[in-house]
Amino acid sequence: MPQPYYTLPLRLDEVIQHKPHPTCSTPQSIAQNLYLMLTTHFSESRFDETFGCSLWDEDFANQSNSRWKEDIRQSIEASVLDHEKRLTQVRIRVDIMDQEIQLSRTNRRVKRRLSVWIDGVLTRTNEPFSFQRSLFLAPLSTE
């Protein structure tokens, strides 16, 4: 069965040269879209100002507050429900923990790590879907 979705990042330079763009499956495409939602702040997308989540707005807020975790979870959930129609029965869980990062042989740093789990069911096939990513906070980074 052909894979109907393009991979990210889009390589428009190759498309212009009439080269085939790599494709991916529906679950891979959904995972790419969810990751993009997590790493995009509101109003960053010119075509849809509601695409993204409040994580960027809350990055330096008091993260030890349990309300902070719930606000982030709700923001991600609202974004997924609005922008990822290929999923139903969406469940989202977030957790925050401190992680020690080895910067060099003698230099270590403790960073806050936000882990996000998104589970649901593929609308078209009723297959279970699971997505998990971790992001470092203050400043927001992937690794």
Can you give the residue range of the structural domain that contains 71? 5-137
Check pLDDT > 70 for residue 140: no
Average pLDDT of the segment spanning 115-132: 96
pLDDT at 20: 87
In this prediction the pTM is 0.83
Instruction: Name the pLDDT band for 30 (thresholds 50, 70, 90).
Output: very high
Output phi, psi for 33, to 5 deg. Answer: -65, -40
Asked if residues 79 and 53 have their Cβ atoms less than 8 Å apart, the reply is yes
Predicted pLDDT of residue 69 = 87
Q: Is residue 143 one of the residues assigned to a domain?
A: no
Q: Is residue 142 part of a domain?
A: no
The structural domain count of the chain equals 1
Structure tokens, 70: 């719930």
* Residue 94: pLDDT band with limits 50, 70, 90: very high
Is pLDDT of 48 > 90?
Answer: no
Whether residue 85 lies inside any domain: the answer is yes
Which of 52, 129, 48, 116 minimizes the C-alpha distance to 87? 129
**pLDDT, average across residues 106-134:** 91
Look at residue 83 and give its three-state secondary structure: helix
Q: Does residue 117 contact residue 133 with C-beta atoms inside 8 Å?
A: no
What confidence score (pLDDT) does residue 124 get? 93
Q: How many helices (H) and strands (E) does the chain have?
A: 3, 5
What CATH number does residue 29 fall under?
3.10.450.40
